[in-house]
Amino acid sequence: MTPVKVRFAPSPTGLLHVGNARVALINWLLAKQAGGTFLLRMDDTDSERSTAAFAQGIEEDLRWLGLTWDDYAAQSARSERYEAAAATLKAAGRLYACYETPEELSLKRKAAMQAGRAPVYDRAGLGLSEAERARLEAEGRRPHWRFALIHEAIAWDDLVRGHVAFDGANLSDPVLVREDGRPLYTLSSVVDDIELGINQVLRGEDHVSNTAVQIQLVEALGGAVPIYAHLPLLVDAGGQSLSKRLGSLSLQSLRAEGLEAMTVNSYLARLGTPDPIEPHLSLDELVTSLDIGRFGRAAPRFDPEELRRLNARLLHMTPYESVRDHLPDGVDVALWEAVRANVTTLAEAADWHHICHGPVTPVIEDAELVVAAADLLPPEPWDGNTWKSWTEAVKAGTGRSGKRLFHPLRLALTGLERGPELRDLLPLIGRVRAEARLRGQGA
């Protein structure tokens, strides 16, 4: 069998957002599961909007997610290949010149719709004589070039959508080359898929009609038709399109918010399947469990709040070794193990470092109790058993128990209503700071 080769083909015209990231992730998982190749291809032929900065940002986001690529290509470096493909199609009579202006095409579409017909291009360009073409060019018009579709059934078995069929007669002949000679996506993407050996194409369902056209184009250029899969596009928690919110849902914004890469991976890998979304600590876990057949046809709802809750769940199970290099200064293994169940982002660990080691203004709820507790503090060294033995002594000496015992001690020691287990925090706070706080001095 031919090894699986997939591609992620972003246009570097903006920031990578969660919809892009989902497509990249699932392509990467498919490749790794099959022992295949993941190609990153920059579709950067739109010179007005594509920038090197956006391309660099996309690469940084993919590396952050852990989606390293095995192969790389940039369409801006392959213009000669698209010109050669266009020449092949012209020689075969499948690429023909058209001279309508955008305004004229718009009028044609409106007239067709008013007459109750589908707004399919009428192939006027295909019937032009050489003399007519010469006259139009003498007027200063330059042709764009359309691919002549064969009017027959076009069908494929989609890995997500199942059997899909189109009638070529119901599709407009697509423009493949602009008036200025630059290729459009339909041509360049197919040429790249053929020449770079892409045999599985997974992308958003907004490309379904493109696929029908591209199948004929692949065949016209002598290529092997890939296996296709089209994922439904994400919507927000209310079921609305994400298109107006993509700026706030870029990978850069999620990273700046403090979300972990594996939180994003864990969420996007299961979104759109009936399977529960659980935190995973490694991409390897997602590779082994991926089943493309589990993705449904309904539009998945992307909920940022659910993503944040998942981030907390992931951190609660993350060992120190996995986050050591990303924790705030001063947070060691003991502090991390004590507080990880109470943080939603790594940055919050700095707050608990301050609680344990910095000055804290104590809240004195029961002065009599906390002064007695200060008098009963045992000598150091302290460990995980100190809290229990100390509070038992305080209970015996004051008669306080339950919330009347533990709540005032927490307020005095941390200044907060709730937090990590005090049996874990107390040894980190230390005797000097603990006594000062219990006596209302702050330390």
CATH topology of domain 359-438: Arc Repressor Mutant, subunit A (1.10.10)
CA separation for the pair 318, 354 (Å, rounded): 21
Q: What is the pTM of this model?
A: 0.92
Q: What is the pLDDT of residue 245?
A: 56
Q: What is the pLDDT of residue 244?
A: 52
Is the CATH number of domain 236-320 3.20.10.10?
no
* 29: its two tokens: 């998982």
Q: What is the pLDDT of residue 48?
A: 85
Cα 419–Cα 420–Cα 424 angle in degrees, nearest 5 = 145
Give the domain ranges of the chain.
5-74+183-232, 81-153+169-177, 236-320, 321-355, 359-438
Would you give per-residue pLDDT tens digits along the chain (443 residues)? 789 999 999 999 999 999 999 999 999 999 999 999 999 999 998 888 899 999 999 999 999 999 999 999 999 999 999 999 999 999 999 999 999 999 999 999 999 899 988 899 999 999 999 999 999 999 999 999 999 999 999 999 999 999 999 999 999 999 999 999 999 999 999 999 999 999 999 999 999 999 999 999 999 999 999 999 999 999 988 888 776 555 668 999 999 999 999 999 999 999 999 999 999 999 999 999 999 999 999 999 999 999 999 999 999 999 999 999 999 999 999 999 999 999 999 999 999 999 999 999 999 999 999 999 999 999 999 999 999 999 999 999 999 999 999 999 999 999 999 999 999 999 999 999 999 999 998 77
- Which residue is it, tokens 């707004």? 119
CATH top-level class of 81-153+169-177 = alpha beta
CA separation for the pair 254, 234 (Å, rounded): 16
CA separation for the pair 401, 395 (Å, rounded): 6
Q: What is the pLDDT of residue 247?
A: 64
Q: 93: left (phi > 0), else alpha (psi -120 to 50), else beta?
A: left
Q: For the domain 5-74+183-232, what is the CATH superfamily, name and number?
A: HUPs (3.40.50.620)
